[in-house]
Structure 1
Amino acid sequence: MVERVDEHDQVVAVVGRGEAVRHGWLHRIAVTVSRDREGRILVQRRSEHLGRFPGHYEVASGGAVAAGESYEEAASRELAEELGVRAPVRFIVKFLNRSGLSPHWLAVHEAVVSDDLNPDPDEVVWHGWLSEPELRRSMRENLFTPDSHDILSHYFAAVDRGSVRPR
């Protein structure tokens, strides 16, 4: 169950995630951009058997915010579920995202994680650390989820304007 929200991210109702996607209702998604101690960004390749964007690359771990859950709680939970790692997440930026399967409020977080990742093999078939130039080149050459482009655009804009500093 997720919270259906309005254009101001205020709760309207509690609905099923599938129902929110099917009807194009706004709901909440939380993601985390993972960096290593050198500042490289983690890139993952989604499993081919996933229903949403199979085989695509992505720059963040994340998913729907459950009813009653905060963005930060969801970001932490998803990081643990998808990558098998527990690390403090830090809020970076939130924006209304209309790319992907359905419109949603997207909260981007950041975490510094170690190389001791244990990705869920049902979700992640490959992962690697890329510098920003390597990542930008990869995004031109490979198929990334639609959200990945928006996530990085907003993430880098927040970092570039100095409202947040990479850890």
Structure 2
Amino acid sequence: MGERVERVDKHDRILGVVDRDEAIRKKWMHRVATVVCRDQSGRILVHRRPGSVSRFPGQYNWMVGGAADAGESYVDAAARELTEELGVHAPVRFVFKYLCHGVISPYWLGVHEAVIRQEVDADATEIAWHAWLTEAEVREAMLRWTFVADSREAFSQYLALAGLR
């Protein structure tokens, strides 16, 4: 049995606990938590996934994250993913969530922010390269680099809500 996640409905209500691979295969909604990492100057961490990973190999992203485990809140999942992927501990702040129809499966995406004040020690199995970019540089990179499609949608949502933060 693989990673256990909560299958949820279109209102993000829990229907049961299922295997994540099964949820993806059957296109069942589940929960994903991500973190927008900013440095003290406000720049955003952008990274490229390794070419050897099964999902989105070699593509870029401006968030770190993954599926929320069964029984885990969005915030707790975001904090866990931050530590697993970047080797850092920082308070995460919930920003918003929305139903993402996703390239491989639909899911509720919880977007969080964290200010990273320490050196990043990226997990090489998750992150092949990373750099800190301004919002303008991220916008430019999205025009030139192959970003995970779902992250492009999330970036648009994030910018639309920027005035509300």
TM-score normalized with structure 1 length = 0.95
**Which residue pairs with 2:120 in the alignment?**
117
- Check whether the contact 2:65–2:81 (CA below 8 A) recurs between aligned residues: yes
- Check whether the contact 2:23–2:30 (CA below 8 A) recurs between aligned residues: yes
Letter in 1 for 2:63: A
Using the alignment, how far apart are the partners of 1:100 and 1:70 within structure 2?
A: 23
Structure 1 position 134 matched with structure 2 position 137: yes
* Root mean square deviation of aligned Cα: 0.8
Letter in 2 for 1:65: A
- Check whether the contact 1:93–1:154 (CA below 8 A) recurs between aligned residues: no
Letter in 2 for 1:89: V
- Check whether the contact 1:2–1:67 (CA below 8 A) recurs between aligned residues: yes
Secondary structure, counterpart of 1:2 in structure 2: strand
Task: Please report how far the alpha carbon of residue 148 of structure 1 lies from its aligned counterpart in structure 2 after TM superposition.
Answer: 1.2
Identical counterparts, % of pairs: 51
Which one of 140, 148, 151 corresponds to residue 151 of structure 2?
148
**Which residue pairs with 1:53 in the alignment?**
56
Gaps of 5+ in 2: none
- Range that drifts further, 113-122 or 37-46: 113-122
* Structure 1 residue runs of 4 or more that deviate by more than 2 Å after TM superposition: none
How many pairs are equivalent? 162
Structure 1 residues 55-78: Cα deviation after superposition (integer angstroms, max 9, x where no partner): 000010000000000000000000
Task: Please report how far the alpha carbon of residue 99 of structure 1 lies from its aligned counterpart in structure 2 after TM superposition.
Answer: 2.2
Using the alignment, how far apart are the partners of 1:58 and 1:100 within structure 2?
A: 14
- Check whether the contact 1:76–1:87 (CA below 8 A) recurs between aligned residues: yes
Structure 1 residues 80-133: Cα deviation after superposition (integer angstroms, max 9, x where no partner): 000111100000010000122100000000000025000001111100011111
Letter in 1 for 2:122: P
TM-score normalized with structure 2 length = 0.96
Structure 1 position 22 matched with structure 2 position 15: no
Using the alignment, how far apart are the partners of 2:5 and 2:30 within structure 1?
A: 7
